[in-house]
Amino acid sequence: MNNVERQMIEDRTLRDAALTLVKADVAHLQADLNARGIGARLLDRVSESASDVFEDATDLAGDNRGVLMALLAAVALWFLRNPLIALFSPDQDSDDTEPEGE
């Protein structure tokens, strides 16, 4: 047997071993997907990401409480702007004035 034939046999053996590994990996992935579907995996990934974002936000909020309170006060004032304007503006329909024509 010459070097070329021996090299071909070694290459074929390596190829067959690699093919066996790939087939085993594919079978493992199929079994894993059958056990837990893509939707469940996606939900887990999204919930982990949301949890990480929430933890980062709470850490940041703890470090900047004054800024956070100012922001919340500004948002509250924005939503309450119409009632506050009505409270401090002169009343157009007050009972002190007599209607015209009487």
When computed from its CA atoms, the radius of gyration of the chain, rounded to whole angstroms, is 36
pLDDT in tens, 55-89: 998 888 888 888 888 999 999 999 999 988 888 88
Q: Specify the pTM.
A: 0.39
DSSP code, position 101: T
Is there a contact between 38 and 44 (Cβ–Cβ < 8 Å)?
no
User: Where exactly are the structural domains of the chain?
Assistant: 9-88
In 3D space, the residue among 95, 3, 40, 41 whose CA is nearest the CA of residue 11 turns out to be: 3
Confidence of residue 94 (pLDDT cuts 50, 70, 90): low
Which residues, 6+ apart, have CB-to-CB distance to 34 below 8 Å?
A: none
